[in-house]
Structure 1
Amino acid sequence: MEDVREKRRRIVSEIEKKISARSEAELKEMRRQAVDRLFEFANYVEARIALLYLPRNPMEMDIADIMARSYERKKVVVLPRFDKERKTIRFYKVDDPDTHIIGKTPEDRGPDPKKCREIPMDNIDIALIPGVAFDEKGSRIAADGGEFDRLMGKLPVTTRKVGVTLEDQIVPQIPMESKSRYVDILVTDKRVIYKI
């Protein structure tokens, strides 16, 4: 019997093929549509403090446009800082992504604690959660090594956990591991999907 990790690798491979078959112009337009839909989505519009992420995989939604548009709408933008040794997560308000983000590799990038103000986790209204693949039940495959699963487990129940992705990255079913967490809502270039 094929194990969960192998099934997840196969799903990612199939999505990579689907994405690579599209032109850059087509992908850019699809991503723009997904971001537009996010900014029409009432939960995001009403949120004052938004937790974003720094992508680690090219198939995860780039958040540069989301971040810029969030600043334009006077939202407080927060990024997580993961301490792998202590297994802790802290949240920092990022006012300027050009000077407040440190780290050279995707795995090490995060807010600079010396330049950013720490934000209590309970203040976060909405959290965008990265993913390479999602299903309609809120399952996901990501490149974050389980850090966002731990993060989602700590966020208040009232904090909406949202995946922003392309419709091409929605699959019928993702096999989940025991520690995996689910997003509440998916926003794609075609629709908004509430976890059922």
Structure 2
Amino acid sequence: MSEEKRSLRERVLSLRSALTPEERAFKSQRIQAIVTQTREFQEASTIMLFMNFRDEVETTELAQIVIDLGKRLVLPRCAPKGVLIPALIEDLEKDIESGMWGIREPKKEELTKVDPLEIDCILVPGAAFDTQGNRLGYGGGYYDRFFGRLAEGTPKIALAFHCQIVDRIPVEFYDKKVDMLITEQGIMRFKETL
């Protein structure tokens, strides 16, 4: 990983961690409201989401909304070698445990794997984003690899706070773009989804 990426990640994450818990809660509520109004979310029947970690956009309530709407909720479990295992979640209380790095993820024992081709909308985290749809993750390459397993045209929607947007992210050949970025200030579309 380049030094440029590392320093950019540190700089943006320090901005994000400077948000107060109240600001984070308010902005997360705003982001959630925007997400649920998008056509991509409303038309999807199988939605992959992430459980927020540290000071990411709060997603627990959004995950419950997916379940309450009768859609299939898929959460990732981190496996060795940078692999994400998509698993079906029916109950946020019973089906989740604290996994690698303390991230909440599907329980290993009761894993109900989901074919990535069945996912019709994926909501992803990231450290920083630019206005061209480039995403700077946390350095493991989990999502960049996983995007290649999704069906062609599956909307890849990033959730972040506005302070995580930068002018330019250094891109390497294996880095994958997102189709949309949703912050508390609204939606940025980088590709028209059908």
* Superposition TM-score, scaled by structure 2 size: 0.86
Q: What residue number does 1:79 align with?
A: 75
Q: What residue number does 1:40 align with?
A: 37
Corresponding residue SS for 2:93: helix
Q: What residue number does 1:124 align with?
A: 119
8 Å CA contact 1:51–1:128 kept in 2: the answer is yes
Q: CA deviation at 1:129?
A: 1.3
Q: Distance in 2 between matches of 1:29 and 1:71?
A: 22
Q: Distance in 1 between matches of 2:21 and 2:105?
A: 27
8 Å CA contact 1:134–1:141 kept in 2: the answer is yes
In structure 2, which of residues 122, 131, 142 is the aligned counterpart of residue 147 of structure 1? Answer: 142
Decide which moves more: 169-178 or 11-20: 11-20
Q: Deviations over 1:22-72 (max 9, x none)?
A: 43222221111111111111111111100112345x243232121012122
Q: Distance in 2 between matches of 1:103 and 1:54?
A: 10
In structure 2, which of residues 164, 167, 175 is the aligned counterpart of residue 172 of structure 1? Answer: 167
The ranges of structure 1 where at least 4 consecutive aligned residues each deviate by more than 4 angstroms after the TM superposition are none
8 Å CA contact 1:90–1:118 kept in 2: the answer is yes
1:162 aligns with 2:157: yes
1:18 aligns with 2:15: yes
Q: Distance in 2 between matches of 1:103 and 1:18?
A: 26
8 Å CA contact 1:50–1:127 kept in 2: the answer is yes
Q: Distance in 1 between matches of 2:45 and 2:132?
A: 26
Corresponding residue SS for 1:11: helix
Q: Distance in 2 between matches of 1:178 and 1:107?
A: 30
8 Å CA contact 2:27–2:184 kept in 1: the answer is yes
Question: Structure 1: which amino acid aligns with 2:122?
Answer: A
In structure 2, which of residues 187, 191, 194 is the aligned counterpart of residue 192 of structure 1? Answer: 187
Structure 2 gaps of 5+ residues are none
Alignment CA distance shift 1:157-1:106 (3 Å): same
Q: Distance in 2 between matches of 1:75 and 1:144?
A: 31
In structure 2, which of residues 56, 59, 62 is the aligned counterpart of residue 60 of structure 1? Answer: 56
Q: CA deviation at 1:17?
A: 4.0
Q: CA deviation at 1:144?
A: 5.7
Q: CA deviation at 1:20?
A: 4.2
